[in-house]
């Protein structure tokens, strides 16, 4: 491989490294409650999954409440921990310990500066001792839900703000560019290798 080829390869590797490093700041810290999803029918022991692995994490709490549809909601503590969990099982909820009805779950992550961040699962139908109706089986149509403020804190969990949307698009574009450059480098190395083999054969 001549000096020009070596220089091209080094520059390509450096560009890829810079792109990978540049993607890191775009990673969003997201407090997520992934399971159960809104409208789920719950029976027996239910695994609650989510993500609390965010920068500045201090602890998290899981609470449930009756789906009253009002802001005057009384929350009952289900589980709390100071362990970071990256998109895994947060706890198991024994729904047989409560009466049948419609409930909501709240995941709260507390940060080192005591700022909380929330995510919710709503319209959860606990049906251990009553029959599951056809109406229960119909998943609700997702609609924007106004979440009340808790105390004097602001909720930083917002569904797809403009900034988050642009960041997501930019991240996708960077990934695409990264893949194209990587494939171009592989193609260049492959063609240089073939040329070198042909030259050796001619000799």
Chain segment 110-120, per-residue pLDDT in tens: 999 989 999 99
The answer to whether residues 22 and 74 belong to one domain is: no
DSSP designation for 106: E
Last residue of a domain, one of 136, 156, 176: 156
Q: Is the pLDDT of residue 101 over 90?
A: yes
The answer to whether residues 141 and 180 belong to one domain is: no
Last residue of a domain, one of 118, 133, 156: 156
Q: How many domains does the chain have?
A: 2
- Taking CA 92 as the corner, what is the angle to CA 156 and CA 127, rounded to the nearest 5 degrees? 95
The answer to whether residues 73 and 148 belong to one domain is: yes
The answer to whether residues 149 and 61 belong to one domain is: yes
The answer to whether residues 60 and 116 belong to one domain is: yes
Query: Whole-angstrom Cα distance, residue 119 to residue 18?
Result: 33
The answer to whether residues 102 and 140 belong to one domain is: yes
Cα torsion angle, 45, 46, 51, 52, sign: negative
What's the pLDDT tens digit per position in 7-65? Answer: 566 666 666 665 555 554 444 568 999 999 999 999 999 999 999 999 999 999 999 99
The answer to whether residues 69 and 150 belong to one domain is: yes
* C-beta separation of 109 from 73 below 8 A: no
Domain limits at 73? 32-156
The answer to whether residues 103 and 172 belong to one domain is: no
* Residues in Cβ contact with 155 at an 8 Å cutoff, skipping those fewer than 6 apart: 117, 118, 147, 149
- Burial pattern 42-73, b for ≥16 Cβ within 10 A else e, equals beeebebebbbbbeebeebbbbbebeeeeeee
The answer to whether residues 112 and 181 belong to one domain is: no
Instruction: Please choose, from the candidates 104, 103, 113, 48, the residue with its C-alpha nearest in 3D space to the C-alpha of residue 81.
Output: 48
DSSP designation for 117: E
Q: What element of type H or E holds 79?
A: strand 76-81
The answer to whether residues 193 and 119 belong to one domain is: no
CATH, residue 128: 2.60.40.10
Instruction: Please choose, from the candidates 38, 46, 29, 121, the residue with its C-alpha nearest in 3D space to the C-alpha of residue 84.
Output: 29
Angle subtended by helix axes 3-23 and 162-202, to nearest 10:
160
Last residue of a domain, one of 156, 175, 191: 156
Residue 148: its pLDDT value, please?
Answer: 43
The answer to whether residues 52 and 77 belong to one domain is: yes
The answer to whether residues 141 and 58 belong to one domain is: yes
pTM of model > 0.75: no
Q: Phi and psi (nearest 5°) for 101? A: 160, -175
Q: Is the pLDDT of residue 108 over 80?
A: yes
């Amino acid at each position: 491989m001549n000096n020009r080829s070596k220089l091209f390869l080094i520059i390509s590797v450096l560009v890829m490294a810079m792109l990978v490093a540049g993607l890191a700041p775009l990673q969003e810290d997201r407090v997520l409650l992934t399971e159960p999803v809104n409208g789920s029918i719950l029976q027996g022991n239910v695994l609650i999954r989510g993500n609390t692995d965010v920068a500045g994490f201090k602890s998290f709490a899981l609470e449930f409440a009756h789906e009253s549809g009002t802001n005057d909601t009384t929350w009952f503590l289900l589980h709390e921990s100071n362990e970071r969990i990256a998109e895994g099982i947060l706890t198991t909820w024994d729904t047989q310990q409560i009466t049948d009805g419609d409930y909501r779950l709240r995941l709260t992550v507390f940060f080192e500066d005591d700022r909380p961040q929330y995510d919710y699962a709503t319209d959860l139908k606990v049906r251990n001792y009553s029959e599951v109706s056809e109406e229960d089986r119909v998943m609700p149509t997702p609609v924007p839900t106004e979440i009340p403020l808790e105390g004097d804190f602001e909720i930083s969990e917002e569904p797809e703000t403009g900034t988050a949307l642009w960041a997501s698009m930019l991240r996708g574009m960077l990934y695409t560019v990264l893949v194209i450059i990587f494939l171009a480098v592989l193609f260049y190395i492959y063609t240089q290798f073939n040329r070198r083999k042909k030259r050796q054969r001619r000799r």
